[in-house]
Every structure is written in C-alpha cells, then in structure tokens.
Structure 1
Amino acid sequence: MSKRLELRFNNEEGRNVTVALDEPVEPVDEDAVAAAMETIINENAFLSTGGELVEKRDARVVERTVDTVYEG
C-alpha cells in the first residue's frame, strides 16, 4: 500500500492544480500543511499552465492498494 499527500489549489484560470508528495509523515499535521500551502502560494513556488496558484482548495492523503491477480 502506498500513500500520497495531495495539496490541491486553484490557479488564476480557476482550474484545479495538484501537488503530490509520496509517503507523507503520519499523522499529517493539518496546521503545518495549511502553512506550507500558504507559503507555496505566497512564494509563487509553482506555475501551472493556467497561471499562478491563487487559492488553497484542500489537502488529502490518498492510499493505493494493488492486488496482483495474475502474473505471467
């Protein structure tokens, strides 16, 4: 099972932009994540095809499990 922390933003065109980090430290500190997202926006750390990131949407931990049913 793998986990990712997805930081989701809106850009200048109002489109969704996701910045993903593999294997986040758990438990995830909500305040630290919110502060990091603010820093990303304030420092223009990332530029998307729809312009700068302008607003935090949300952050979530996504778990992925892969069960192999056949292997040749």
Structure 2
Amino acid sequence: MSKRLELRFQNEEGRNVTIALDEPVEPTDEEQISQVMDTLLEENVFISNGGDLTKKRDARIVERTVTTVYEN
C-alpha cells in the first residue's frame, strides 16, 4: 500500500490544483500542514496553467492498494 499527501488549492480560474508528496511522515500535523499551505500561497511558489494559486481547498492522505488478480 502506498500513501500520498495531497495539498489541494484553487487557482485564479477557479480550478483545482493538487501538489502531491509521496510517503508522508505520520502522524500528520494538521496545523503544520495548514501553515505550509499558507506559506506556499504567500510566497507564490507554484503557478498553474490557470494562473497563481489563490486559496487553500484541503489536504488529504490518499492510500492506494494494488491487488494483482492475474499475472502472465
């Protein structure tokens, strides 16, 4: 099973932009993640196809499990 931390923002066009980090440190610290997202917005670190990131949407841990049912 693999895990990713997804930081989701909205850009100037109102579209969603996701910045993903593989294998995040756990347990996650909600306050620290929120502060990092604020810093990314304030410093204008990332620009998307739809313009600058304008606001935080959410952050989430996504887990992925792959089960092979047939292999040749």
Q: CA deviation at 1:27?
A: 0.6
User: Deviating runs (4+, > 3 A) in structure 1?
Assistant: none
For 1:32, the equivalent position in structure 2 comes to 32
The separation in 1 between residues aligned to 2:68 and 2:45, in whole angstroms, is 38
- Secondary structure, aligned partner of 2:21: strand
Unaligned runs of 5+ in 1: none
Instruction: Report the count of equivalent residues.
Output: 72
Query: After the TM superposition, which residues 2-21 of structure 1 pair with which residues of structure 2 at under 5 Å, given as runs?
Result: 2-21=2-21
The separation in 2 between residues aligned to 1:40 and 1:60, in whole angstroms, is 16
The separation in 1 between residues aligned to 2:27 and 2:53, in whole angstroms, is 26
Unaligned runs of 5+ in 2: none
Q: Does 1:61 align with 2:65?
A: no
Q: CA deviation at 1:71?
A: 0.8
Q: CA deviation at 1:66?
A: 0.1
Q: CA deviation at 1:4?
A: 0.2
- Same amino acid, percent of matched pairs: 69
Q: CA deviation at 1:52?
A: 0.3
After superposition, the C-alpha distances for 1:28-69 in whole angstroms (9 at most, x for unaligned) are 100010000001101111000000001000000000000001
